[in-house]
Amino acid sequence: MTEVVLLFPIFLIIVFVTAKIFALLVLVQKMEIGSYYAARRWQLESHLNASDYPDSRLQKDIQDKVRGYMGFDNAAVAKFMNLQNLKLEIQRTQVWNVVTLKVYTKPNNIKLLCRYPKQAVCASPYGRDCENGYEFLCVEPGNHQNGAGKQLEVIKYVPSRDRPIQFILPGIKD
């Protein structure tokens, strides 16, 4: 019985850290799906001659939909995944439209993992990956460094079209 009482807190810590790592994986997958949605919708609805629905309104509507999908509207999801802000940028070029989805996260700040400064934790032989992980988990103003989580980014390239293409059902002939 004593072993169970002593090992239970360690088990909870392992479960919590595993859940936070899983949340990061889920966040990356949600970003891929959200950026695909944004790029596809932009491709289908953002024609240069479509004056009844301007680009700024379409971009805002797409950003709101992606924001809801990512979990910004649900306080519990936003807190668990450490979501801070989302930004959708669309740049028109001659051939491609560049759709960039950026998600800003807050640091996890797991006290047990953030007890020591970055220089001590990420000393040689660890490199830039260790520093990125430390910044994602720990860095906040007043805690050894200055920073505020990380920025995750997904870029999609969408071909430009000057006019809408008429929808034709396959197999139907005039």
Query: What is the value of pTM for the model shown?
Result: 0.74
pLDDT in tens, 92-140: 888 888 999 999 988 766 666 677 777 888 888 887 888 777 777 775 5
How far apart, in whole angstroms, are the C-alpha atoms of residue 124 and residue 111?
A: 23
Residue 52 pLDDT grade (very low, low, confident, very high; cuts 50, 70, 90)? low
For residue 103, what pLDDT is reported? 93
Q: Is residue 170 part of a domain?
A: no
34 within 8 A of 100, measured Cβ to Cβ: no
Asked whether residue 99 is assigned to any structural domain, the reply reads yes
pLDDT given for residue 67 in this prediction: 95
The verdict on whether omega for the bond into residue 125 sits within 30 degrees of 0, i.e. cis, is: yes
To the nearest whole number, what is the mean pLDDT of the chain?
81
Return phi, psi of residue 120, to 5°: -75, -40
Q: Which domain holds residue 55?
A: 2-159
- What residue type is assigned to position 140 of the chain? E
pLDDT score of 157 = 93
pLDDT computed for residue 141 by the predictor: 47
Considering the domain boundaries, does residue 174 fall inside one? Answer: no
The CB-based long-range contact list for 78-85 (8 Å cut-off, 24+ gap) reads 80/23, 81/23, 81/24, 81/26, 81/27, 81/105, 82/23, 82/106, 82/107, 82/108, 82/149, 83/27, 84/148, 84/149
Inform me whether the pLDDT recorded for 34 exceeds 60. yes
For residue 172, is it within any domain?
no
User: Is residue 165 in some structural domain?
Assistant: no
Number of domains in the chain: 1
